[in-house]
Structure 1
Amino acid sequence: MMKLSNQRGVGLIEVIVALLLLAIAVLGFSALQMNALNATDESLVRSRAMSMSKQLSENMRLNTLATDDFMTKLNTLNQGAENITQYCAKVAQASSNFDKDSCKSDACSPEEIAALNTWQAANLGCEQDIMLNMTTCPDMADINARQCIITSWGKTIPILNDDEDNACGDSDGSYKLGSHCLIMEAY
């Protein structure tokens, strides 16, 4: 028979081991919860970007006479913008030069409507930290000239470029690993 004096402190060790196991389980659950929150945030931004792309695409379908003007205006806003701050500064500068109310009472040309729609989309993008751009979709220049509306967030730039690390995709239209963006084909 063992004496009780030999068992002294064993209960304390068991409690410490149990607490250690519980702490590891709680840390694992916390990490899982953080991943779930990040995925939810990404899903929300992706949903907003899709909505903006769809709206811009619908505006282009309604104004087929000025399809190229949408692309020109968005490309102008993106020239030299390497992040959302620079992009939104250019959008704000464009809005100060643009009469937002001119098309509400007077008849507008297709080009003016395209400028208004583009400014509205870019401004909405800035409110939600999303950059917009448009380019001719890869391998479509000779066929049907479809446009690719590119929305990006985070540190991703809305361009298709093989050499730019922060680009949304490669020049062939495939997404770059780790990019935070959405490419939508519009015609």
Structure 2
Amino acid sequence: MKVSTKNKQRGVGLIEVLVAILVLAIGVLGYAAMQLTALKAAEDANHRAQATLLAQGALESFMANESAMASYLDVDNWPDQTIAPGKTLGSLKDCIDSTCTPDDVAEWDISVLAWQAANLLPGGMITVDECKHATDMSCVLVSWNQQTPDDCMTDTGVNTDEGTSCVVMEVSR
């Protein structure tokens, strides 16, 4: 008896196609997850860069107006809640085109820094407080993502827990 060779398989079977599609789908999902992780990391890096620039700007304001250093370092002069994004600075004395005392300039600087934190960072806040780990230092604290500046410091120093949304810079008093 002769075996017919007409019915031999030619081409790709349905199972092989389904397996190939499954492998491709898993690869595409992995690539999409990797892209999502990269976007989240880039957004976090952008927030940290903006917060660092804000803290650096605060320190530069302190140095430019040293005669009002006490005003800058007084925690009561800093807002204790976030400013609504887009809100104007209100009835502050404009120290750009008028004569202001050093304390007026400090008040204006603090308001501008708080406004910038709220508009550059989601839930952003900036304040100055005593560094809990050093008695002769104050810390510029910038926080975002609904984290309060108080959460940026622990009794032993800067809060380094995972997921902490803070930048802390020290300034000597």
TM-score by length of 2: 0.82
Residue in 1 that maps onto 2:146 = 155
- 1:109 to 1:2, Cα distance in 2 relative to 1, 3 A: farther
Give the whole-Å Cα distance in 2 for the aligned partners of 1:154 and 1:75: 22
Alignment match of 1:88 (pick from 79, 83, 86): 83
Residue in 2 that maps onto 1:118 = 110
**Residues 1:133 and 2:127 are matched in the alignment:** yes
Alignment match of 1:181 (pick from 127, 151, 166): 166
- 1:4 to 1:28, Cα distance in 2 relative to 1, 3 A: farther
Deviation at 1:36, TM superposition (A): 0.6
Q: Is the 8 A contact 1:134 1:149 kept in 2?
A: yes
How many residues align? The count is: 166
Alignment match of 1:104 (pick from 89, 97, 106): 97
- 1:31 to 1:74, Cα distance in 2 relative to 1, 3 A: farther
- 1:16 to 1:70, Cα distance in 2 relative to 1, 3 A: same
% identity of equivalent residues: 29
Give the whole-Å Cα distance in 1 for the aligned partners of 2:131 and 2:26: 49
- 1:13 to 1:74, Cα distance in 2 relative to 1, 3 A: farther
Give the whole-Å Cα distance in 2 for the aligned partners of 1:25 and 1:2: 41
Give the whole-Å Cα distance in 2 for the aligned partners of 1:98 and 1:13: 73
Give the whole-Å Cα distance in 2 for the aligned partners of 1:2 and 1:170: 82
Q: Is the 8 A contact 2:140 2:169 kept in 1?
A: yes
Give the whole-Å Cα distance in 1 for the aligned partners of 2:36 and 2:4: 49
- 1:103 to 1:14, Cα distance in 2 relative to 1, 3 A: closer
**Residues 1:48 and 2:50 are matched in the alignment:** yes
Deviation at 1:153, TM superposition (A): 1.2
Q: Is the 8 A contact 1:103 1:112 kept in 2?
A: no
Q: Secondary structure at the match of 1:33?
A: helix
Structure 2 gaps, min length 5: none
TM-score by length of 1: 0.76
